[in-house]
Chain A
């Protein structure tokens, strides 16, 4: 049908199928700033203005827009003339991955058009349909407020939010410079995988298992193949059988090789059965439905507690998997480490505390679901453009399982719409490539939101048994953590995630002896993998909830008790050397520790003191904002790591251009976190040029040097180290040329403010030096590569305060305030570091309160959409306070440690402790749904 409307004031007439939605029509017309995040009206990534009002374009038929005026992000402003909102979002680094941002800016525009001076509450309500997973909405709300108040441009200027001493020491690092790709993010011009137009592209789709556990007796693809427009159907009979792990980890890989591209057996509802490639998404979906499969349905294992029972169904009964601890008992991996003698410690303890904590299945929920696009280039090499955290591991894995040499595969990560661990994994690249190799056509596969939730990767659910023996004076004599970890149907990260549950958390409080055990078991449920916090988020919920319980039981102040027992500078981490990445680790000495300052800062930033002063002896909580509301404050502490010692490696190449600008090529993977920006800042600092003079190109296996990728909080620390090394070599060559030009001693020269200067007062602009190096008598392309690995893993430290209100009649918890301070050593870019804290805290709030994958009795996920899988909206999120504490880690680049994962760790325990403070109810099972909170209140009332 033909439909006429205007887009960004230009009349447009289109001829579309009657069932087409506006989202697809607009993207087809080239308005690719409009993003596809759920196709269900739940996420707002597709928002456009329809006759001036923000609507979800995925839920409007194109035909319904007849005669309407449509405004997309492209019509709000462009890179040459951005709208004030876009400028302010850019200035404040409000966009991280940016996938949600076009929708957010469109909503903000409509909001301010209707109400030029909205309250903060109205701003949040005006964003209620825009889900953001990266930012906690903090900087977006601030930016909108600034524009509304006519204060745009005031804050967020270079250096404004920088730690106090950065200004004197450094020119580029320690400053909140704008993101290098920021303009593209806020104007809708940034390119994500879905935005690459490729001629002749087919749409791939995966047919998924309806059963939790079954054997495929037969597959008949003839009806699907008979459908015109269907080019290929792959089943286990058509693809190589190469056992591998989908986890993107370094070689030698620590996770079991228990997966093949397509198997004769399915192990969870949503497991791969077949893959199709067809000319349209609708055809691909129809083709999947027309594949006839006969299953022999097997009894499933749906409770991890039953997985190792005698006679339990064996999930991995294939004979070609390797690296599984004990397949016959569904035991994917096992850990048992003891430091000192815990039994002795418990025997001599004055009191022993023993509790069980449990944590649920959640999914990282990046706003851009997993998506890959593969094609054969003009040299017949396989190119995979993909939303990944691990391009180099993906290249290795894709090559191996498809039987190609690594040299024939190129993996490119464009901008990606969030990852948070879920994309440290080969979820699509292998099969997308297989479809391309078979059809010799470009193929794109994009998970729908449901598939993203149940068929990508999730956070490991665990049952954590924690036992602590303390002496009369409160000293911890023995601590034992026993974990039952559910790795789901496959063992991606089956060993390494639970390793971190113990190794990252148990060192936080000094104990004379420690033991950590874990059984990581298979079940017929979705596959667990990496998620921000990587095991530690689970462990800290137990550890810091129990510290609160112990302090209260001993009559000690929970803060004083924690700080008295916390690990100190100079201490040796007792467990690090025993638990590494699938092997033993390395000694870890704590060189910097800002815990006490972190605590002081969150205390000052919140009502901690005033609220405690207002407490009445003998009653839990204080009155809240309504008649049935109680208020309480809780806190927690945490530590984390910075990379995987002895394992991670990142590399950087820097080449100088003749105009004094530089190209920085890095394998490191920017997930929206800002790593391209901060790595550029580091290079600029060493080279003495402004950050804008460094052009960053990253994550392309053909063009950039290797990097393990973005995981384990390693980028700043490990990849940053490589950038510093490469920059120093480039700088030395510039100094050499300058010394020849000026006739000065090279060792005395310094590079700063765009010039190279000698103590004599003579100086030359770097531009001239670069020009001379390229075209002078000693012609040279200055270009150096360096790689970096380390055996250190300095922990960042964190403290948090949660201020909550509990409705004691419905059990609903509202978070009034949340402050989180991180000792990240030194923040290379304070605004971006704050953004990491905001985002991680908001993910943590979802983990603590609302997020949970719910399954029926047959293992099918019941809430596989964003209406029912509750991530928090701007309305549900408080104005999260992020505080940066500087400690200058001597082993890190410019004193930096990591920042991006640790804030997740503190949230659940702080909320648990706050609910306890408000109501006296101690909850040990995540998430704290209204239902569980109410049950707790009733139980307490009944006692």
Chain B
């Protein structure tokens, strides 16, 4: 139960960072609040509400490498799922992950930034973003900087400093022929993932030019299955090959069990989700 002394509502990312760092006591950002509000501890002194920080946008920017999709951190999941900017085979994993996330009431509040930041349980968007090689723009006291999302998870303590604000997610869209898909399995149809998987595949001339497979639910942070990617490169995009990639993933992961599912079950379905995501991604090329 929250027992805040203050709730701030900065008007810009810079002001948000300043407020968070300069206020006395313990504080956090609050975006949609779907996690922070119900689970926040009574010892929190203040929250910095990002509603007015100007981070609610989805746009395509021109870049030297063929353009980037830019998603503001305060974009609600419900808006992301219906965003016309995402209507392409390349970005399909993002749409699928957003459309399937939680309940309608949650999607109407939850934000992209919060979903990327939170590691309470296996968030759905990160695998999709990672499969597409996304980067993340952070705002600190000394201005904005871009960090690869993979580093944000793998080396958080090095690349993320206290008070850093997630400003936006950037996904390059210049890769011709790249297609993606997202798969998730839970205990019911409306559930957080036991295991989810996003796959992005580029096929040219009948062989797989590049494939990235990213799973969530099998390690504390999203897992990039580099071995599956390496195996797939140069193969032909057949069901057998995708199943083999799934088998490799199952073999190489060492998930932990919890009250949602055992380690063994997660390992098994990791392979299944991998094969299914790959197959659908490749089918959409």
* Residues of A that sit less than 8 Å from B by CB: 1, 17-19, 21, 39-42, 44, 47, 50, 53-56, 58-61, 63-64, 66, 107, 125-130, 281-282, 285-286, 809-810, 812, 814, 849-850, 854, 862-863, 867-868, 870, 872-873, 875-876, 929-931, 934
Contact = CB atoms under 8 A, between A and B. Distances in A.
Nearest to A874: B190
25 contacts: A17-B4, A18-B6, A18-B47, A21-B37, A41-B38, A58-B38, A60-B33, A60-B37, A61-B33, A63-B7, A125-B104, A128-B190, A129-B104, A129-B105, A281-B1, A282-B3, A810-B185, A862-B258, A868-B259, A868-B260, A873-B190, A930-B187, A934-B265, A934-B268, A934-B269
B259 A862 contact: yes
Contacts of B29: none
B189 A56 contact: no
Contact of A64 (B1, B33, B46, B191): B33
A286 B37 contact: no
Contacts of B88: none
Contacts of A21: 2, 37
B7 A59 contact: no
Nearest to B109: A55
B262 interface: yes
Contacts of A930: 185, 187, 194, 261, 265, 269
A42 to B, nearest CB: 8
Contacts of B191: 870
A129 B42 contact: no
A812 B185 contact: yes
B90 to A, nearest CB: 25
Contacts of B39: 40
Contact of A55 (B30, B47, B108): B108
Contacts of B130: none
A282 B1 contact: yes
B255 to A, nearest CB: 13
A558 B248 CA distance: 43
Contact of B33 (A59, A126, A872, A931): A59
A285 B185 contact: no
Interface in B1-58: 1-7, 9, 30, 33-34, 37-40, 42, 44, 46-47, 49, 51
A18 B5 contact: yes
A56 B109 contact: yes
B192 interface: yes
A18 B7 contact: yes
Contact of B269 (A41, A64, A129, A810): A810
Contacts of A870: 187-188, 191
Interface residues of B, number: 46
What 4 A-B pairs are tightest by C-beta distance, nearest first? A129-B103, A129-B105, A19-B2, A19-B4
Contacts of B34: 41, 56, 59
Interface of B: 1-7, 9, 30, 33-34, 37-40, 42, 44, 46-47, 49, 51, 78, 102-106, 108-109, 185, 187-192, 194, 258-262, 265, 268-269, 272
Nearest to B273: A810
Contacts of A47: 105
Contacts of B185: 810, 812, 930
Contacts of B33: 59-61, 64
Nearest to B195: A810
B108 A54 contact: yes
B83 to A, nearest CB: 15
Given A18-B6, A18-B7, A41 B104 contact: no
Given A19-B1, A64-B33, A930-B194, 17 more contacts: A18-B7, A19-B2, A44-B105, A54-B104, A54-B108, A56-B34, A61-B2, A61-B37, A61-B49, A107-B104, A129-B102, A850-B187, A863-B259, A868-B259, A868-B260, A870-B188, A875-B188
Contacts of B47: 18, 61
A711 B145 CA distance: 64
B109 A59 contact: yes
Contacts of A18: 4-7, 46-47
Contacts of B188: 849-850, 870, 872-873, 875-876
Contact of A929 (B9, B46, B187): B187
Contacts of A1: 6-7
Given A54-B108, A58-B38, A809-B272, A285 B1 contact: yes
Given A59-B34, A125-B104, A810-B185, A19 B7 contact: yes
B4 to A, nearest CB: 4
Contacts of B40: 19
B259 A128 contact: no
Contacts of B9: 63, 66
Contact of A876 (B4, B51, B189): B189
Contacts of B260: 868
Contacts of B269: 809-810, 930, 934
B262 A61 contact: no
Contacts of B190: 128, 873, 875-876
Nearest to A40: B38
Nearest to B190: A873
Contacts of A40: 38-39
Nearest to B272: A809
B176 to A, nearest CB: 29
A41 B77 CA distance: 15
A394 B107 CA distance: 42
B111 to A, nearest CB: 12
Contacts of A59: 33-34, 37-38, 109
Contacts of A285: 1, 42
Instruction: Pick the most buried of A21, A862, A867, A873: most chain B CB atoms within 10 A of its CB.
Output: A867
A723 to B, nearest CB: 41
B101 to A, nearest CB: 11
B186 to A, nearest CB: 8
Contact of B189 (A50, A66, A873): A873
A41 B40 CA distance: 13
B7 A56 contact: no
A129 B38 CA distance: 16
Contacts of B38: 39-41, 58-59
A873 B103 contact: yes
Nearest to A871: B188
Contacts of A64: 7, 30, 33, 49, 51
Nearest to A59: B37
A113 B223 CA distance: 40
Contacts of A55: 105, 108-109
B103 A128 contact: yes
> Which residue, of A18, A44, A281, A850, has the highest number of chain B Cβ atoms within 10 A?
A18
B247 to A, nearest CB: 12
Contacts of A286: 42
A863 B187 CA distance: 13
Contacts of B5: 18
B263 to A, nearest CB: 11
A45 B3 CA distance: 23
Nearest to A932: B265
Contacts of B258: 862
Contacts of A56: 34, 105-106, 109
A18 B8 CA distance: 9
Contacts of B272: 809-810
Nearest to A807: B185
A96 B89 CA distance: 45
A806 B191 CA distance: 18
B265 A107 contact: no
A228 to B, nearest CB: 14
A745 B194 CA distance: 76
B175 to A, nearest CB: 28
A846 B272 CA distance: 25
A281 B269 CA distance: 43
Contacts of B187: 812, 850, 870, 929-930
A814 B186 CA distance: 12
A59 B1 CA distance: 11
Contacts of B78: 53
